[in-house]
Structure 1
Amino acid sequence: LPSTCPVPIPENQTLANFTFTGQVANVYNNYTLTVTAISSPRTTLVFAVASIHNTGWFLDNVSVREVGGSNDTELVTNGDFSGNLTGWTLLCSMNCSGPATRGVSSVILTGCPSGSIAPCYYAECDMPTYVYLMQSLATTIGTIYNLSFSIAPASTTSNDLIVFIA
């Protein structure tokens, strides 16, 4: 992926697109998606967020494991965001359209949704700009993996959260 903003979102590799209008705020929903690796030796997992101030997204418990794999190896580094973004790359957080959301995306230690154990990752970035959280994973092309994660909208009007691979 390019290191400049904005990062293009490849439509044919989008895994999920969430828009939570009218949903309960600050409550995690757990998701598991089946992903086929599109490259070897690495595939990049990307979470892209666009939302207005105070209506962002919480993310936690990110995991990728091979389906039917013999060793059940976790491919994601720091999927629980243990106090920092070690293993992750954050792009474009200073390029958000609105000044209130510039630089807001980060690991937070307090204020995570109820029922979770801090820390968690929080992102917001005024539309139409996106902030990107990504990690390069060791994969084998054509191999099937389970991607699981927990997300919670920060408000009942949270905008886009797109999950894709590159």
Structure 2
Amino acid sequence: MIDMDSLMKGQDYSELKDSYILFICKRDPFKDEREKHYGLSCYTFKNTCSENPAVNLNDKSLKVIYNASAYNEEKDEKVKAFLHFIHTNEPGKDDFTNRLSALVEQIKDNEKFRRDYAAMNLHDRDITRAAKQEGANEKAVENAITLVQKYNVSPESAAKDMNAPLDKVLESLSKSRL
């Protein structure tokens, strides 16, 4: 979408403008295969070829993801102060985070913003609850499949015993048999 917005009809791909996508996260969004966070304060991504990382898409797009929980790891003092503010909600000694803190307090006093913020939090909680339920369903399906494969229990019984959706158990079983 960003590329489409930056190119006019008929313009060449080489005329793309630089684009920056920034995410500021309170917690580390990346984990390794053992579920351990990498702990970087900043993750920077460019589009490269999976088969040969030396091949760059050259779309002039840069994605930067800041992890506020690792603010102590940040070398740039201004970025470090900002990430500290995001993580702790405590302004630092610098002018920027003090002004930002004052703006946040001013916005909190705005009645419309408070209503919208409360609605957004409800929406976020609904999403979190749905994700947890999905995770519980996935675990129940895994357990049901174990019952079927290890103990020769029927898929119907296993799904019922593990409180797993039967259709998901059957689907996973059929995939594992391929």
Q: TM-score, normalised by structure 2?
A: 0.21
Does 1 or 2 have the higher relative contact order (CA < 8 Å, sep 6+)? 1
Question: For the pair shown, which has the larger CA radius of gyration, 1 or 2?
Answer: 2
Give the structure with the larger helix fraction. Answer: 2
